Amino acid sequence: MADHITSDQVYQTVDRVDFRAMIEVDRYGDRTDAFDGIISATHDHFWDPLDNAYIDFSMPFDVNSQLIMPVEQIVELNSAVADRLDEGQQIRLGNEIMRWSLSSILHGEQGALSLSASLCHILKDPGAQEYAGNQAREEARHVSAFSRYIGLRWKTPLPVGECLGDLLEELVLAPEVYKKLVGMQMLVEGLAMGAFANLHRHTSDPVLKRLVQLVMTDEAFHHKFGKIWADRTIGKLSADEHRRVEEWAARCFEILLFNLSNIRQRHHIYEAFGLDWEWVRDACREVYGETERRNSLTQQTNIFRVLIKTLLQAGIITDRTRHVYAAWVDMEELQGEGDFMVGDAVAAEGIETLREINARRRVIGQKPTAA
């Protein structure tokens, strides 16, 4: 039996092949209201990636002549790599690196979709199961939207990196519920919110800017699902259970920090420009070492800073693993920032625009009342 480490009744699970447990008569009436607020808010932030009323994918952007993200955001273009390329090649390389990053986001969204669907098979509480089904629907539109964006800009996405692919596979297939919730709803969603906030702030592509804002309106609620788990679970864990959750989270953090953007994983991109990936790695190390990495984590939209704050706010980090994160960020400063999460303001603004769009569409599509 898997050790799910779930102390609250609303996260009670059954074996994924035990369908009979799902049709027990008493189960249908034993429904938590813990997720009702998130579920009912779905109507406020509904959007359709195939409808121009929400996002117009026809807005022009030439990836051969314009950088999607500024030069400062691309380490390779601030190193000796740039000296070996003409202006056109620099733009294309910068955008190919963004293609790899956005492909990683697409793979992450597919992982979230598959994981949410897997929760539907094991969460026994009807309210928790409804939330998981609802999130699966929202993750599906993220997959659709990023697939469409990448298709328009580059035709096809790039393969998943080894580090991310291994982590997503571990989370989706993990029998332990705590790994699914901590791993996806906190680690991966925390990374995603940081990445989306950074893209929204810096991208020059209006389609991408709108796309990530729409996705953030959903992700803000997905993050809350993990927070509810933490609020109802962490304080009830035994010392051994907390240690296992905490040490597993720290291991995942270090794997992601040192490997998520590992240059070796992008070797095929550099080869297309006649560059040896090991030389690119060494050139980047000359301008971006541990000091620069640490400095980058002071920025509020840094994906790893957001991830650390997510774990800290959830109560998962204690003195046992605090040093793992304190090597990179000021933990006292992070603690003092309160519950505000980067991207909250962007998501709130997006929700307001969606409410207006959806209200207009409901009125337009409303059937006349009978006389």
Reading the block at residue 178, the tokens are 């705590």
> Higher pLDDT residue, 261 or 366?
261
Considering only CA atoms, which of 299, 192, 320 is closest in space to residue 244?
320
Return the pLDDT at 369. Answer: 45
Cβ atoms within 10 Å of 43's Cβ, excluding its own: 11
CA gap 206, 201 in Å, rounded: 11
Return the pLDDT at 97. Answer: 96
Return the pLDDT at 2. Answer: 57
CA gap 303, 305 in Å, rounded: 6
CA gap 102, 150 in Å, rounded: 8
Return the pLDDT at 364. Answer: 53
Burial readout 190-211 (b: 16 or more C-beta within 10 A, e: otherwise): bbbbbbbbbbbbebebebbbbb
Q: Where are the alpha helices (DSSP H) in the chain?
A: 25-29, 36-40, 87-122, 126-154, 162-173, 177-180, 189-202, 206-233, 239-259, 267-271, 277-287, 290-296, 303-313, 322-326, 331-336, 344-364
Q: Please give the average per-residue pLDDT across 288-317, as a whole number.
A: 83
Return the pLDDT at 59. Answer: 94
Q: Please give the average per-residue pLDDT across 307-314, as a whole number.
A: 88
Q: Please give the average per-residue pLDDT across 303-307, as a whole number.
A: 84
Return the pLDDT at 210. Answer: 97
Q: Is the pLDDT of residue 181 over 90?
A: no
Identity of the amino acid at 132: A
CA gap 59, 52 in Å, rounded: 11
Return the pLDDT at 85. Answer: 97
Return the pLDDT at 75. Answer: 93
- DSSP letters of 287-327? H-SHHHHHHHTTSTT-HHHHHHHHHHHTT---TTTHHHHHT
* Segment 206-247, tens digit of pLDDT: 999 999 999 999 988 887 787 888 888 888 888 999 999 999
Q: Please give the average per-residue pLDDT across 120-145, as a whole number.
A: 95
CA gap 304, 298 in Å, rounded: 10
16-22 long-range Cβ contacts below 8 angstroms, 24+ apart: 16/118, 16/121, 16/122, 21/124, 22/124
- Spell out the domain ranges in the chain: 30-362
Considering only CA atoms, which of 260, 256, 105, 122 is closest in space to residue 178?
122
Return the pLDDT at 368. Answer: 41
User: Taking the domain 30-362, which CATH number applies?
Assistant: 1.10.620.20
Supply the DSSP symbol for 81. G
Q: Please give the average per-residue pLDDT across 66-90, as a whole number.
A: 96
Phi/psi for 123 (5° steps) reads: -75, 120
Q: Is the pLDDT of residue 363 over 70?
A: no
The most confident of 12-16, 148-152, 333-337, by mean pLDDT: 148-152
Sign of CA dihedral 202, 205, 210, 212: negative
Least confident span in 85-99, 159-173, 298-312: 298-312
Q: Please give the average per-residue pLDDT across 318-336, as a whole number.
A: 91
Least confident span in 97-111, 259-273, 281-295: 281-295
Return the pLDDT at 52. Answer: 94
Whole-number average pLDDT of the chain: 89
Reading the block at residue 234, the tokens are 């962490």
Q: Please give the average per-residue pLDDT across 113-119, as a whole number.
A: 95
Q: Is the pLDDT of residue 322 over 50?
A: yes
CB of 307 within 8 A of CB of 190? yes
* Segment 32-77, tens digit of pLDDT: 998 999 899 888 889 999 999 999 999 999 999 999 999 999 999 9
